[in-house]
Amino acid sequence: MSQEPILKARGLVKRYGRVTALDQADFDLYPGEILAVIGDNGAGKSSLIKALSGAVNPDEGEIHLDGQKVQFTSPMQAREAGIETVYQNLALSPALSIADNMFLGREIRRKGPLGDIFRLLDHKEMQRVAREKLSELGLMTIQNINQAVETLSGGQRQGVAVARAAAFGSKVVIMDEPTAALGVKESRRVLELILDVRSRGLPIVLISHNMPHVFEVADRIHIHRLGKRLTVINPKEYTMSDAVALMTGAMAPKEAA
Ligand SMILES: Nc1ncnc2c1ncn2[C@@H]1O[C@H](COP(=O)(O)OP(=O)(O)OP(=O)(O)O)[C@@H](O)[C@H]1O
């Protein structure tokens, strides 16, 4: 790759007591790509993603975003720097509307003296922007932006979470198992959304156990094993069973070219 990575990590270490979840892990995400991260249970994928998204503080190692060294102490800091994460448990508030969920934690306040004094929310503006963001991603089959998220299907909820990440992630979108809880049709829609987000120029990190999904959308596959990056493969040059064999240690990686 001739370009510089947009997000890069070197030598990440994270220990939980006697367990070493990350053991000198490296990571590279390049502009405009979908990078899948796969690995066996307990390989350290979540720990890696948490370190990159500010949810855990690594004990050692460095993270660089856009060439600058960063040290996030909270997910909010990573979000402010342009890294949006769609977590497995979604982090949506079911009782709130779609529009309110899109702006959770970064609400737009009303301008003017009353707005300043009472910190009033600008619901109209939030609804307008939410509608715009959802329709950009072809999600306006969701009829009413004021509908509570709890009334949506799993796929629609995932759509709101992805739209929120795509709307606010200025540099990187990380998705942790976005299709895990979904049916076939809903998974399809979310995969299309992931491709849409890439076509809008945002690079994506996709953590998934679903090999067909990974092989369908990923440009490159980072294989994580025993707390570190084992290798990165091109899905066009490997079969799914090769990838699983690498993940489980049944096959050794080829020497880097
Ligand atoms: N908060 C924690 N406290 C203690 N141990 C943890 C914690 N988080 C992760 N671990 C341990 O670190 C190791 C790596 O876990 P991690 O969740 O990163 O793996 P993973 O590849 O995401 O696994 P899975 O695919 O099962 O979600 C595991 O042995 C796990 O038990």
Q: How far is the CA of 231 from the centre of ligand 1 (A)?
A: 20
Mean pLDDT of 187-204: 88
Position 136 pLDDT exceeds 70 = yes
Q: How far is the CA of 45 from the centre of ligand 1 (A)?
A: 8
Q: How far is the CA of 48 from the centre of ligand 1 (A)?
A: 10
Mean pLDDT of 171-200: 86
Nearest CA to ligand 1 atom 11: 21
**Cα distance between residue 117 and residue 50, in whole Å:** 37
pLDDT band per the 50, 70, 90 thresholds, residue 209: very high
Among 13, 47, 50, 206, say which to mutate for ligand 1: greatest number of ligand atoms within 8 Å of CB: 47
Mean pLDDT of 31-50: 96
Q: What is the pLDDT of residue 141?
A: 62
pLDDT band per the 50, 70, 90 thresholds, residue 111: confident
- For the chain, give every domain's residue range: 7-248
Among 12, 18, 19, say which to mutate for ligand 1: greatest number of ligand atoms within 8 Å of CB: 19
- The CB of 47 under 6 Å from ligand 1? The reply is yes
Position 223 pLDDT exceeds 80 = yes
Position 232 pLDDT exceeds 80 = yes
- The CB of 41 under 6 Å from ligand 1? The reply is yes
Burial of 116-142, coded b for 16+ CB within 10 Å and e otherwise, reads eeeeeebbebbbebbbebbeebebeeb
Nearest CA to ligand 1 atom 4: 16
Residue linked to tokens 């799914």: 240
Position 191 pLDDT exceeds 60 = yes
Among 18, 37, 45, say which to mutate for ligand 1: greatest number of ligand atoms within 8 Å of CB: 45
Nearest CA to ligand 1 atom 24: 41
Mean pLDDT of 67-96: 85
**Cα distance between residue 51 and residue 66, in whole Å:** 16
Q: What is the pLDDT of residues 49-65, one digit of tens each?
A: 999 999 999 999 999 99
Q: What is the pLDDT of residue 257?
A: 46
Position 74 pLDDT exceeds 80 = yes
- The CB of 45 under 6 Å from ligand 1? The reply is yes
What value, to the nearest 5°, has the Cα angle with vertex 114 and ends 112 and 115?
Answer: 65
Mean pLDDT of 73-92: 84
Q: What is the pLDDT of residue 36?
A: 98
State the ipTM, two decimals: 0.96
| CATH code linked to domain 7-248 | 3.40.50.300
Position 73 pLDDT exceeds 50 = yes
Q: What is the pLDDT of residue 98?
A: 82
For residue 243, which phi and psi values (nearest 5 degrees)?
A: -60, -40
